[in-house]
Amino acid sequence: MIVSRSHDRLRLITQGDHAHFSAELLSLWKGQNLPDHPWRTEILRATRSHDNGWRELDAAPPLDPGTGHPWDFVDLPGHLRAELWQHGVERMAGEPVVAALVAMHALAIHSSGSPGVEIQELRAWLEEHIAELLEDANISRHDLEQSYIFLDWADAASLASCGVWDGRFGKAGLRGRFSAGVLELDPFPLVGATTFHIAYREIPARRYGGEADLGGELGAAKWRQMPVKVAPTGPSSR
């Protein structure tokens, strides 16, 4: 769950809805020869599915005991993160290229910092599974890493639109800025400006008494659609 606070409200975006926007954006990507990429279908499938391991936690989000709010994805404890990423990779095992891209994403986002034992074990597990999946798919690590760049771009653009990193990012030659409902990208990878929508819910930013209390509030919350216009970076943003 992506959790952001605005005054007395919490805005909640599921990882699945964030990933959906990532894939919708990438499906219109015309730059960097993606339309002619031999694995375009697998890259789009992996982008749409890269956070599939969060599905169960998004359906019944656990509470952060320190805040009484649902855990934001950045702060989720290591043992839960390890479990969901392993599950997410295994769920895609029937599609080795897709599963390898999902595993590469999990490895990339856990590659820095000083991880605890659970994340160290997750890294080792991911490396082992990537090697096995590459062998199954008969592709090289280099080709996988080059293909992963597309997923990484789309993921970063979507997260910026969801309010992560204060709406700014820079990834492998692509820069982005989200402000006032507009995601500006440089260089611009689409044919023209396009508007997408990201599903979200809002709940009061109060301290919840337990997961049943939170679940009741979530059940009553209306689903809303946040428009995101994707456009080239304007002169004032360069």
Per-residue pLDDT of the chain (238 residues; tens, 9 = 90+): 999 988 899 999 999 999 999 999 999 999 888 999 999 999 999 999 999 999 999 999 999 999 999 999 999 999 999 999 999 999 999 999 999 999 999 999 998 766 789 999 999 999 999 999 999 999 999 999 999 999 999 999 999 999 898 888 998 889 999 999 999 999 999 988 999 999 999 999 999 999 999 999 999 999 999 999 999 987 554 4
pLDDT of residue 115: 75
- How deeply is 120 buried, as exposed, middle or buried, from its count of CB atoms within 10 A (0-12, 13-18, 19+)? middle
User: Residue 218: what are its φ and ψ, rounded to 5°?
Assistant: -65, -40
- Give every CB contact of residue 110 below 8 A, 6+ residues apart in sequence: 81, 85, 119, 122, 123, 126
Residue 112 pLDDT: 77
pTM for this prediction:
0.93
Contact partners, residue 2, CB within 8 Å, separation at least 6: 12, 13, 14, 15, 18, 72, 73, 159, 162, 163, 164
- Any idea which residue has 């605005």 for tokens? 6
pLDDT score of 77: 93
